[in-house]
C-alpha cells in the first residue's frame, strides 16, 4: 500500500480511537508496511494534528509501547467557539418565563455538542477520568461528547428508578433554586469504588443538582475528578453550594423587561 | 504544503463534516494547492474510505459543486458488530426481574454507541431525514450518534414538560406493556411542519412508546422517515402496535429459570 493511502487509513483509525494505545505492529500488519515507514507516517500525522490545533500523538516507548492520539482544542479554537455560542444565546427570542433561556436547539445540534465535548475533554485530559456522570436529560449528549474524546464510559443519574436498571442507590438532596427535596438514583452496577468521576451538566444556577451528584458519588465511595457545566447563571437570592467547577459560558444579565441577555466566556478560560 | 500533510488535514475535515458539501476551492485555499492536486487527493481518500468500509466521497459536479462524505458501515462490519453485541447481551448476569435485561453498561460506552449510530445512519441514509427524534432517557445517546453521521439535529420527547423548554405540545398514549395512560411532550419550537423525522429508541416491546411518538409527529404535521430500535423483545401477551420499524437486535428467548437469553441479528439485516 502506498504512503498516501496509509496516511488516510491511519488518520481515520487514530481519530476513531482517541486515548487508546495503538502498537506500531498493529499498523505495520494492517498496512503491510515497514516499521520505519509507519514511524514516518505517524510523524507527519502528529505534525499536522498539532498545526491544525486538533490534538497530538503521544509516543510511548518500549516493548509495550505505541502511539496514543490525545485530542485537544487549541486555545484559539476554544475561544472563538465559545464566543460564537455566547452570541447565539444572546438572542432575545430565547427568553422564557422566569428568566430561563431556550437552549434545546443548540443542544440538539450534533456538531455543537461535539465541539463542547472536545473543549471539556481538553480541559480535563490530565485528570485521569475513569467515568463521566451526568443527570437526565439535557446533560446526556454533552456527557457522551466529552466521553467520546476521553474514551471513558458514561453513567446517567435519574430522578426515578427504572426496572431496566436493576438495584439502585438513591439519595435525597435539596434543589438550590426551588428548595424542594428531590431524589436521585444510580444503578448499583454503574460505578466502582474509588473511580475518578467527571461530572458534566448543561446548566447550573445555585448548584443543588451538582451537589446532589457529589453526594451520590460519596455514597459509592468514588472521587470527583472535576465538574464542568455548559452554562452557569447567577442566582441573586443565594450563594452557590458548589465552588469547584468550570463553566464554558456565564449568563450574566437577563433583563426580561428590556429583553436583553448578556453571555460571556465562562471560568474555563480563566484557569 | 506537501501532499502527505494535506491528506491528513483533508481526511480529518471530511470525517468531521459528514453529509456536508465541501467545495474544491475551500480545500485549494486552506492548503494552498492546485485544483488538480486536491482532486487527486480526494480520489485517494475516496478509494481508501471504500476499501476500509467506512464511507465514500460523493462528487457533485458544476459551479456549486464539491464533495460530500457519506459515512457508511459495510455489511460485513455491521454484521460482525451486531453479533458481538448480541453475544455480550446473552450474558445471564444481565437478567433482571420481569425478564428485562441490564444494558446500561453497553449504552454507556461511547464507542459502542458510535458504532450503533453509524449502522442506523447507513440504513437510513437515503431517506432524506431532517430531524431525529427520541424519548428520554436511554434513546438519547443513540439518537445523537445517528444524528452525527447524518448531520441533522435531534429533538427529545419528554414525559413531563420543563420550564426551560417554553411552550410544549403534549399527547396521551397507552403504554403497550403496562396498559397505563402516559403523557409525552415536545417543545413547540422543536419541529417544522412537514419535517422528515427518523425515530430512534433503545428498546421496543409492544411498541406503545414508539406509537406515541408517531402520534406526536402527526400533531406537528411531520412525517415518519423511519423507525430504528436497538433491541426488540417479544411480548407474549399481545401484538405489536408498530410494524414499520427496523431493529438491530432481537431478544428471542428470555428464560429466567434457566438463566438463558437468546439474542439474534434484528430485522435491519433482513431488508
Residue A119's pLDDT is 97
Reported as a pLDDT band with limits 50, 70 and 90, residue A237 is low
Residue B56's pLDDT is 97
Tell me the CATH class for B75-269: alpha beta
CATH fold label, A3-71? Arc Repressor Mutant, subunit A (1.10.10)
Q: What integer is the mean pLDDT of B128-135?
A: 97
**Distance of alpha carbon B36 from alpha carbon B42, whole angstroms:** 10
Q: Which residue reads 494492517 in cell numbers? A: A30
Domain A3-71 and domain A75-269 have a common topology: no
Cell matching residue B19: 453529509
Say yes or no to pLDDT of A165 above 90. no
**Distance of alpha carbon B269 from alpha carbon A252, whole angstroms:** 52
What are the sequence ranges of the domains in chain B? 3-71, 75-269
Interface contact flag, B148 A104, Cβ < 8 Å: no
Residue A210's pLDDT is 95
Write the CB contacts of A251 (distance below 8 Å, at least 6 apart in sequence): A89, A101, A231, A232, A233, A234, A261, A262, A263
Question: Other CB atoms closer than 10 Å to residue A202's CB: what's the count?
Answer: 22
Q: Are A228 and A200 in contact (CB under 8 A)?
A: yes
Taking contacts as CB-CB distances below 8 angstroms, the residues of chain A near B121 are: none
Q: What integer is the mean pLDDT of A266-270?
A: 95
DSSP string, B227-256: EEEEEEE--TTS--S--S-EEEEEEEEEET
**Distance of alpha carbon A35 from alpha carbon B160, whole angstroms:** 58
Residue A57's pLDDT is 98
Q: What percent of chain A has pLDDT over 90?
A: 79
Cell matching residue A250: 456565564
What would the pLDDT profile of B218-253 be if each residue is shown by its tens digit? Answer: 999 999 999 999 999 876 666 788 889 999 999 988
Top pLDDT among A163 and B256 is at B256
Residue A241's pLDDT is 85
Closest residue in B to A15 (Cα–Cα): B12
The model's pTM is: 0.95
Cell matching residue B33: 494547492
Residue A235's pLDDT is 67
Nearest to B166 among A49, A96, A145 (CB): A96
Closest CA to B116 of B229, B37, B242, B209: B229
Q: Write out residues 107-166 of A within 8 Å (CB-CB) of B.
A: 108-111, 113-114, 136-138, 140-141, 144-145, 147-148, 151-156, 158, 163-166
Q: What angle in degrees, to the nearest 10, is found between the helix axes of B35-51 and A3-16?
A: 60
Q: Write out residues 18-37 of B within 8 Å (CB-CB) of A.
A: none
Taking contacts as CB-CB distances below 8 angstroms, the residues of chain A near B3 are: 4
Residue B177's pLDDT is 65
User: What's the ipTM?
Assistant: 0.94
Say yes or no to pLDDT of B63 above 90. no
Closest residue in B to A50 (Cα–Cα): B9
Amino acid at each position: 500500500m502506498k504512503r498516501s493511502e496509509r496516511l488516510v487509513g491511519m488518520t481515520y483509525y487514530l481519530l476513531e480511537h482517541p486515548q487508546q494505545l495503538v502498537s506500531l505492529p498493529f499498523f505495520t500488519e494492517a498496512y503491510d508496511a515497514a516499521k520505519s515507514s509507519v514511524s514516518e507516517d505517524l510523524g507527519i500525522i502528529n505534525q499536522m494534528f498539532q498545526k491544525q490545533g486538533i490534538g497530538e500523538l503521544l509516543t510511548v516507548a518500549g516493548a509495550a509501547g505505541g502511539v496514543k492520539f490525545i485530542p485537544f482544542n487549541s486555545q484559539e479554537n476554544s475561544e472563538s467557539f465559545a464566543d460564537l455560542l455566547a452570541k447565539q444565546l444572546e438572542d432575545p427570542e430565547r427568553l422564557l418565563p422566569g428568566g430561563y433561556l431556550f437552549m434545546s436547539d443548540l443542544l440538539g445540534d450534533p456538531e455543537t455538542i461535539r465541539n463542547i465535548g472536545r473543549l471539556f475533554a481538553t480541559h480535563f485530559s490530565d485528570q485521569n477520568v475513569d467515568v463521566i456522570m451526568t443527570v437526565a436529560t439535557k446533560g446526556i449528549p454533552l456527557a457522551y461528547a466529552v466521553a467520546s474524546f476521553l474514551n471513558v464510559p458514561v453513567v446517567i443519574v435519574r430522578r426515578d428508578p427504572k426496572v431496566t436498571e436493576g438495584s439502585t442507590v438513591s439519595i435525597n438532596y435539596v434543589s438550590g433554586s426551588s428548595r424542594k427535596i428531590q431524589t436521585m438514583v444510580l444503578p448499583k452496577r454503574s460505578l466502582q469504588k474509588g473511580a475518578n468521576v467527571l461530572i458534566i451538566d448543561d446548566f447550573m444556577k445555585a448548584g443543588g443538582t451538582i451537589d446532589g451528584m457529589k453526594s451520590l458519588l460519596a455514597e459509592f465511595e468514588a472521587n470527583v475528578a472535576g465538574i464542568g457545566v455548559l452554562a452557569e447563571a447567577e442566582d441573586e437570592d443565594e450563594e452557590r453550594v458548589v465552588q469547584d467547577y468550570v463553566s464554558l459560558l456565564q449568563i450574566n444579565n437577563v433583563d426580561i423587561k428590556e429583553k436583553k441577555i448578556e453571555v460571556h466566556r465562562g471560568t474555563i478560560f480563566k484557569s
